[in-house]
Amino acid sequence: MTSLVKEPIYQQLNTQLRLLVGSAECPLGSKFLTERQICQRYEVSRATANKALSNLVSEGLLEFRKGVGTFVRGRPLDYNLRALVSFVDKARAAGKQPGTEVLQFQTVRAENVLDDVPQLLQAAPEANLYYIERLRLADGLPVILEKRYVVWEHCPDLTADDVRGSLYSVWTQRYQLPIEGADESIRAVNARGADARVLKLRDGAAGMLIHSVGYLSGNRPLWSERTLYRGDAYEFHNRLGGIQPEGYLTGKFLEVTDNTP
């Protein structure tokens, strides 16, 4: 006869607390129960209450705000992997108030940019580029640190005030630029140093780093961007197609079908 193994107390407590998250008692954005309240309601030790709360924070269901308390996290921001969508629209869709702090806005010559940006933007050494560094906020919380170079000739009178809102809107509405899309690479990183401090993260906290190059019609580069996203504020969504035939990624499948008349 197989005996049933009872879950540890803190796991049982986790289950009970999850039922409260998003309920009428603890709706999204509200302050959650304190350790003391949990101890009194569920008759557990302070250490057990603390461990259960920590687990729910690590799962992204709760958010700890230093000096204030623990809150039920609101809906995370969605990163659309299939289309260019402005941060302003994404934040509002998640029920959050978008904000932007322009940390840097300047014009630089391509020959003075040390990395591979001039090559990516197909910019001659004497060409001008904008360098734009922005901190994007949702309900006052820093969620994105964006460092972007833009080809000056496509929007020659751009100002710092213009980049406090949606660049996509400025480009498409004022300049009538035909934005075709962007190439992106995404990888998990640990936020460090100044980047972590600007995003109000502890050093080494999880983040997502996105490198992208945006194009106008005719494959003309418009921007090159390095953007760091808070790992606890974003979800990356995509819809996959069906199962591909064997050899799809290696090109073997294509080699076979290319012989078909």
- Supply the CATH number for residue 105's domain: 3.40.1410.10
How far apart are the C-alpha atoms of 146 and 133, rounded to whole Å? 6
End residue of a domain, out of 22, 39, 72: 72
**Contacts (Cβ under 8 Å, ≥6 apart) of 87:** 98, 100, 136, 144, 166
What is the number of domains present in the chain? 2
179 or 26, which is more confident?
A: 179
Q: Is the pLDDT of residue 225 over 80?
A: yes
Mean pLDDT of 142-161: 96
Q: Are residues 22 and 95 in the same domain?
A: no
pLDDT at 114: 86
**Contacts (Cβ under 8 Å, ≥6 apart) of 102:** 132, 133, 134, 160, 163, 164
Q: Are residues 26 and 133 in the same domain?
A: no
17 within some domain = yes
Read off the amino acid at residue 118.
Answer: P
Q: Is the pLDDT of residue 62 over 90?
A: no
pLDDT at 81: 54
pLDDT tens, position by position, 117-138: 999 999 999 999 999 999 999 8
End residue of a domain, out of 43, 72, 101: 72
How far apart are the C-alpha atoms of 224 and 184, rounded to whole Å? 10
Q: Is the pLDDT of residue 14 over 50?
A: yes
pLDDT-derived band at 248 (thresholds 50, 70, 90) equals low
Question: Which tokens belong to 176?
Answer: 């009538």
pLDDT-derived band at 102 (thresholds 50, 70, 90) equals very high
140 within some domain = yes
212 within some domain = yes
**Contacts (Cβ under 8 Å, ≥6 apart) of 22:** 28, 72
155-182: buried (b, 16+ CB within 10 Å) or exposed (e) per residue?
A: beebeeebbeebbbebbeeeeebebeeb
pLDDT at 253: 45
End residue of a domain, out of 72, 99, 116: 72
pLDDT at 4: 42
Instruction: Count other Cβ atoms within 10 Å, centred on residue 130.
Output: 20
Read off the amino acid at residue 123.
Answer: A
Mean pLDDT of 211-215: 95
Say if CB 217 and CB 149 are below 8 A apart. no
Quote the crossing angle between the two packed helices 9-20 and 35-42, to the nearest 10°: 110
Cβ-based burial of 57 (10 A; exposed 0-12, middle 13-18, buried ≥19): middle
pLDDT-derived band at 5 (thresholds 50, 70, 90) equals very low
Domain span at residue 27 reads 9-72
**Contacts (Cβ under 8 Å, ≥6 apart) of 256:** 247
173 or 62, which is more confident?
A: 173
Q: Are residues 125 and 30 in the same domain?
A: no
9 or 100, which is more confident?
A: 100
Strand partners of residue 79: 236
Q: Is the pLDDT of residue 216 over 80?
A: yes
